[in-house]
Structure 1
């Protein structure tokens, strides 16, 4: 529902660029807490209303744990096909934007 009414749905760097180049001086930002704080620091002349959620599970993921999981093929996650395809599209889009 939020996506349908959002002015923009962007990556982290794109959100910063959007806010920086926008004529608006007030933004409602719905994202992870770290990005909200970064916007406040990098663009102090604009006001950001923060609605952030700290994901405790995301903070538990480490590079070492990911490497271990891949090496030993453990912690398999099964997802419905529509969710898997949506995640695949999001990852592919992030990789396209990073070039």
Structure 2
């Protein structure tokens, strides 16, 4: 399933588009760390348990956690796509040399 998602990304986007997407996702992640003054999702989760928050604050933070997890998932997929981009493109393109065709 992971490979399917990665190859779908590669099929739908150029390397440049994936690199831009990676930068955008990193910016979103950095914005969350700055907004909540934490260095990671794990630290943010620890604050959730430690601080005395209202029910509304807890709901808001759970939404932020879901967003952060989605960003992390997308980051992982885009990184895999960039890492495998050349190999997948090469394997999916038709061979043009005569030794690769059956006679």
User: Which has more helix, going by share of residues?
Assistant: 2
Larger radius of gyration between Structure 1 and Structure 2:
2
More relative contact order in 1 or in 2 (CA 8 Å, sep 6+)?
A: 2
TM-score (norm 1): 0.27
TM-score (norm 2): 0.26
